[in-house]
Amino acid sequence: MATGFDQFHLQGTGQASLYFDTIRSIIGSNIFGEFLQIVHQLDERANSENNPSILIEGVNLEILVSGKLGPIARNIIKLWYTATWYQLPDVWRDKFGARQNDTTFIVSPYAYPEGLLWVAIGVNPPAAKAPGYESWSYPPSVTLPSPL
């Protein structure tokens, strides 16, 4: 959905359950349930009408712009990409309540190499998932845009 990766790829990282439990422990079951319910309703509507844009537009209009759910959604996206939960903004914490474990932290050392960031930029994570013996002797497969 919002990460640009499909469910198959996200499940393939092996981090979905860990992230789910982490998010729920930080924002609480009620707010997380509300968030998931909206996403589920949008997804069902998009599927029943065979129109994926309903989900995308709905996430933008009902979640990302929300003062309550927007910061959570942005944190979830960052979590998938970097394996890091970033502390929610003070304004959010003041209004909706802060839990002790709402701090900035790497969720798991095993989550780091599975971050979507590495796939998105086409490189291996530093100090993890080494590309193999003598791989340094080959040119990188990443293409850089030409300067203007």
Q: Is 44 helix (H, G, I), strand (E, B) or coil?
A: helix
The domain ranges of the chain are 21-125
What pLDDT was estimated at residue 144? 64
Report, as an integer, the average pLDDT of 81-86: 96
Phi, psi of 121 (to 5 degrees): -100, 0
Decide if 134 contacts 46 (C-beta within 8 A). no
Phi, psi of 61 (to 5 degrees): -85, -30
pLDDT digits (tens, 9 = 90+) for 100-138: 899 999 999 999 999 999 989 888 888 887 777 787 788
pLDDT digits (tens, 9 = 90+) for 24-54: 999 999 999 999 999 999 999 999 999 989 9
Q: Which residues pair with 84 in a beta bridge?
A: 106
CA dihedral 76, 41, 10, 100 (to 10 degrees): 30
